[in-house]
Amino acid sequence: FRSVDIRDEYIKEVLFSPKYGYGKNFNPCIDCHAKMFEVAKRLMDEWGASFLISGEVLGQRPMSQNRESLEKVLNLSNCGGLLLRPMSAKSLEPTLPETEGWVDREKLENIVGRNRDRQIELAEQFGLKDYEAPGGGCLLTDEKFSNKIRDFIAHDTFTVEDIPTLKYGRQLRLPGGAKFIIGRNAEDNAILETIENRKYIHVRTELVGPHALLSVNADENDRLLAGKLLLAYCKAGFEGEQTLDFGGVSLSTLSDLSRNDAQQYFI
């Protein structure tokens, strides 16, 4: 198994300018599939591969796996007869591996539609037990995550380094335009603490509470508001003015806002 990181190429060439558009949210499924196969085809000679294999099933996804979409993927990736889809092969045109006799077409499947019974049956036959539940989608199909991306690109240029900043924590956009991210739980806090992104500074407190990131160019008003909001998510029991660390710079403020006050800034 080899994992190939195509995130930078994907962001620059697919995510924001897909030829075949998006699904319900920010998911450019057809262009996404084509990009993966384009990269795979590019690696064939280096890896000594003769053809490509995909787990796509005809009709399983109404937008990205209907017959027309599967053909669009082939054309956009320029894979032609090199891409074998063994799960639905008998309902599709024979590919080079089949016509050349490298693969016995009669042993391939004829799965069509959204039912997963045959796939689950095959998994049992092959002894595969630890696999993802069928029907899951990528983050780009999630409405809330898509809104986070739309908000981000309205204020900044999106790069690979920005991906973790959208996946974790409560996401807020403050009045002055600064982005503020507040950890939701111990796992979030631990991940946010490890993020090193030149667009953000770390906001810390000695109290029992979340870790946070704030836009490095946040103005004074947004910094003060961020401090108050962070205190609102700290464990109750403290009184008076508190001092927080904003990327090595101290800022003192009172905790006079509630978590309900934070709602208006949520993305």
pLDDT digits (tens, 9 = 90+) for 211-238: 999 999 999 999 999 999 999 999 999 9
Domain ranges of the chain: 7-136, 142-265
Q: What is the pLDDT of residue 167?
A: 95
SS3 content of the chain, % helix, strand, coil (to 5): 40, 15, 45
Per-residue pLDDT band for 133 (boundaries 50, 70, 90) equals confident
Helix or strand run (H / E) with residue 182 = strand 179-182
**How many other CB atoms are found less than 10 A from the CB of residue 18?**
20
The Cα–Cα gap between 85 and 95 comes to 9
**Structural contact between residues 84 and 95, judged by C-beta atoms closer than 8 angstroms:** yes
Q: Determine the residue type at 215.
A: S
C-alpha 78: how far from chain center:
25
Q: What is the pLDDT of residue 131?
A: 86
Burial 110-135, CB ≥16 within 10 A → b, else e: ebbeeeeeebeeeeeeeeeeeeeeee
Q: What is the pLDDT of residue 137?
A: 73
pLDDT of residue 136: 65
Report pTM. 0.87
pLDDT recorded at residue 39: 97
Examine the pLDDT at 240 and tell me if it is beyond 70: yes
Using one digit for the tens of pLDDT, what is the confidence trace for 163-214?
A: 999 999 999 999 999 999 999 999 999 999 999 999 999 999 999 999 999 9
pLDDT at 85: 98
